[in-house]
Structure 1
Amino acid sequence: MNGTDAFTLGCVIFGLLLIAKTLGGSFISRLPLSAAMIYLAVGLAIGPSGIGLLELDALTDTVLLERLTEVAVLISLFTAGMKLELPLTDKRWRIPVQLATLSMLVTVAAITALGVYGLGLSLGAAVLLGAILAPTDPVLASDVQVANPQDRDRLRFGLTGEGGLNDGTAFPFIMLGLGLLGVHELGEGGWRWWTVDVLWAVTGGLALGYALGALVGRTILYLRMRHREALGSDEFIALGLIALTYGVALLCQTYGFLAVFAAGLALRRIDDAKPGVEPAAPEPSPQDAALSPEEQAATGAEAPANMMNAVQRFNSQLESFIEVAMVLVIGVLVATVDFRWEVLWFVPVLFLVIRPLAVYIGLVGTHVKGAQRNLMGWFGIRGIGSMYYLLYAINHDIESALAERLLSLTLAVIVASVVIHGVSVTPLMNHYEARKLAKKKQRGDAKA
């Protein structure tokens, strides 16, 4: 197949996938499968094991694939931040924070032990494997995340916040693993790792991202409400803020993933200011009559909410587009990997033992119990974030034999997650929502 024919066929397949997602989205949501499972199957079909339309190799096309996964994670992290409308003082924030820190630490430690004693890896390689597989995925977990910013459900809120935070909190362990392998400077006694890779990069990234998100958002609203300027192109707000925040964060040697997530959080909160904080809109002028209905909505009292809704809608659509592309890529890569027998026992241990144990420990002191805790323990979805960290490590010149082994384990975990979580998400979440509705009805009947 020549290049022109491959491009033409690729356009047809990709177009059919996007249209099928639109036409069959509601139907698929009622079935015990996810859209990601379909994209994965199509990726397998168009890859080397199928018609050979697309050929990629995670060990040779590492720079390209790292950038693709990096962009996908950034968009999803910003979207996750914008979904979380709860005030930062709300006690429910303990859930994602503890999952992204305490559960993260338990997961990395458990996988490290399993890597050393079960897989025969060196300590550095085992820590690196733990850091790659510890973060849950904000891209593929949309079915169990907050459906709208007003959603207060602890399960959805916790999983959304965890997916947004732990893609950044995993970075210190990535750097630790690389340092133990001798390809990153840890400093004497680990001082550089503690001060730069942990304390500064984490806190600096969160603070910088939140400050930029608030500054950009409030500046745009000020110009709109006071001067009838900066109108339109709400979509560019998201893309511009993501790029600006990520670039500045990297220049400051902080974690860009955390910064972008924090920027999304801050942008969502610019319409939560107390009365009198935001400048009042000026008196109507003759020029206002020339504004379109959309521009008038962007400059009125509802300007903050309208801007947030527009940005959030664009982000969600962009995230869905990214999901299609990235899962197709993963499907293509599957045919290029020589999977080792060890994945047959490693994957079940990760999903059935390590993840539930880490969640149970991480939720200590919270009000999450019963079905919510069990579902959080089950939905430790792995995906694009883990793929990015793997490629990041490969591009830092780890040994080729180790790279091949980590690729086998990581891709096996991602594919297994797409399949088993895709099959289980619809029936489990439907049952969960039905139980919530029944309990709510019982409480209403008791009050009556």
Structure 2
Amino acid sequence: MLRQREGLQNCLLLIGLPLTIGAGAATAAFLFPDLILAEAALLGAILAPTDAGLGQLIVNNPKVPVRIRQGLNIESGLNDGGAIPFFIFFLVLANGEELNKPIGTIFSLAIEHIGFGALVGIFLGLLGEWLSRRAVKASWTSGLYHRIGFLTLAVISWLVADTVGGSGFVAAFLAGMVSEAMGRKVEKEEIIFTEAEGNILSLAVFFIFGVAAATRLPDIGFPEVVYAVLSLTVILIVPVAIYLIGTKLHRETVLFLGWFGPRGLASVVLLLIAMEEAKGIPGLETINLAVRVFLIFSG
């Protein structure tokens, strides 16, 4: 059973994520002819990450088979990290094409951005876990402060990576993975604490995002609405149906896996990064509006 669950998660991550990004990019290129291919792919990458936190009622529902629940929960937690390399590459590519940079330079910039972020994340993950163990062993910290330290590791990783020209998203993601790989025992209180903090942050971000999105309602056009509807249906379900061929899952299960795709904080953060790092690309305004409309429909 464990092997079956791992297989489902691997399919969702390794095959489904690129297919979803590709389908989103192709649809965006068709509906928004003003976007160049790199910008359309960037839009697809921004909307690819899912957020199981927005679907906890489903993920925690005992009526849903354990294999499906765990597959969705783990995939939703990991695919935002998996989408980051695609996002960074297409962001650098769109910027590079606007500035007429050679393709070799574009590749180098993307690799450097991802690589620096990965190095920072791995280093701080190792260092942070070592310091955490020493602090607990020496009784320098306990309880609430230890939990805060675990949460701030992600923030520090992001800030350091951003300072050296790396991806903060990659750094924070890998810092957490390295910390867990070192055998960190995550206490139940830490999980509850980080989930509560994450939910508060998500609510605050979505509130601000909703206020900002309301000001753009008059600018919404037919292409944005069609793209949002297709993204919530065809772009999500068709890739799932393709890569789950041969798994012997029931049709209803395949449709459920395809439909389950709430977009959350990751897409908002990626949009904000794109708006900050790619101010000069012509299609940024189209991407901005399309993401806002999609998140409104998704919510």
TM class, shorter-length: 0.7 to 0.9
Residue 188 in 1 paired to residue 188 in 2? no
Q: Kindly indicate whether structure 1 or structure 2 has the higher relative contact order, using CA contacts under 8 Å at least 6 residues apart.
A: 1
Are 1:154 and 2:67 counterparts? yes
Report how many residues are paired: 291
Choose which of 305, 317, 335 in structure 1 pairs with 2:196.
Answer: 317
Aligned residue for 1:211? 126
Secondary structure of the 2:32 match is coil
C-alpha distance in structure 2 between counterparts of 1:217 and 1:369, whole Å: 46
Amino acid in the other structure paired with 1:357: V
Once residues 56 and 126 of structure 2 are traced to their aligned partners in structure 1, the CA distance between those partners, rounded to angstroms, is: 27
Range with greater deviation from structure 2 (324-333 or 134-143): 134-143
Aligned 8 A contact 2:161 2:168 in 1 = yes
Q: Is the CA contact 1:140–1:323 (under 8 Å) kept in the aligned structure 2?
A: no
CA distance in 1, matches of 2:65, 2:293: 34
For the 8 Å contact 1:140–1:383, the answer to whether it is kept is yes
Instruction: State the match for 1:381 in structure 2.
Output: 262
Trace 1:89-168 onto structure 2 (pairs within 5 A). 92-120=5-33, 121-145=35-59, 153-168=66-81
Q: Distance in 2 between matches of 1:203 and 1:400?
A: 26
Distance change >3 Å, CA 336–CA 402, structure 1 → 2: farther
Aligned residue runs from structure 1 range 15-34, under 5 A: none
SS of match in other structure, 2:277: coil
What is the Cα deviation at residue 164 of structure 1? Answer: 2.3
Give RMSD over aligned pairs: 3.6
In the alignment, what sits opposite 1:231?
142
**What runs of 5+ residues in structure 2 fail to find an aligned partner?**
none
Matching residue within 172, 183, 194 for 1:260: 172
Looking at structure 1, the residues matched to 172 and 152 of structure 2 have their Cα atoms a distance apart, in angstroms, of 11
C-alpha displacement at 1:310, in angstroms?
1.9
Q: Cα gap change, 1:249/1:394 in structure 2, threshold over 3 Å: closer, same or farther? A: closer
Deviates more, 1:170-179 or 1:188-197: 188-197
- Equivalent residue for 2:296, pick from 379, 400, 415: 415
1:104/1:134 contact within 8 Å kept: yes
Q: 1:100 to 1:180 in 2, by over 3 A?
A: same
Amino acid at match of 1:219: R
CA contact (8 A) 2:94 2:281 kept: no
Structure 1 equivalent of residue 239 of structure 2: 358
CA 395–254 in structure 1, closer or farther in 2 if over 3 Å, else same: closer
Deviation at 1:142, TM superposition (A): 3.4
CA distance in 1, matches of 2:153, 2:107: 33
Report % sequence identity: 26
Question: Residue 400 and residue 192 in structure 1: after superposition, are their counterparts in 2 closer, same or farther (change >3 A)?
Answer: closer
Q: 2:42 & 2:129 partners in 1: Cα distance?
A: 34
Q: Aligned pair in 2 of structure 1 residues 197, 97: CA closer, same or farther (>3 Å)?
A: farther
Larger Rg: 1
Contact 1:168 1:257 in 2 (8 A): yes
Q: Is residue 208 of structure 2 the alignment partner of residue 329 of structure 1?
A: yes
**1:336 positional shift:** 1.4
Question: Paired residue for 1:308, among 187, 193, 204?
Answer: 187
Counterpart residue identity of residue 47, structure 2? L
User: Letter of the aligned partner of 2:267 in structure 1?
Assistant: S
In the TM superposition, what is the alpha-carbon distance from 1:178 to its structure 2 partner? 2.6
Q: Between Structure 1 and Structure 2, which shows a larger proportion of helix residues?
A: 2
Instruction: Give the deviation of 1:108 after TM superposition.
Output: 1.6
- Cα–Cα, structure 1 residues 240 and 186, in superposed 2: closer, same or farther, change >3 Å? farther
Q: CA deviation at 1:205?
A: 6.9
Task: Check whether the contact 1:144–1:159 (CA below 8 A) recurs between aligned residues.
Answer: no
Asked if the contact 2:121–2:174 (Cα under 8 Å) also holds between the matched residues in 1, the reply is yes
Distance 2:21 2:29 in 1: 12
Query: For the Cα contact (< 8 Å) 2:89–2:107, is it kept in 1?
Result: no
Q: List runs of 5+ in structure 1 lacking aligned partners.
A: 1-88, 273-303, 419-448
User: Displacement of 1:356 after TM fit?
Assistant: 1.0
Q: Deviations over 1:393-435 (max 9, x none)?
A: 11124347623221221111111111xxxxxxxxxxxxxxxxx
Mapped contact 2:117–2:161 kept (Cα < 8 A): no
Residues 186-208 of structure 1 deviation map (CA, whole Å, 9 limit, x = unaligned): 7528542674456x468657745
Match of 2:228 among 347, 350, 363: 347
Alpha-carbon offset, residue 129 of structure 1: 1.1
Checking the alignment, whether the CA contact within 8 Å between 2:95 and 2:281 is kept in structure 1 is: no
Q: Distance in 1 between matches of 2:170 and 2:104?
A: 27
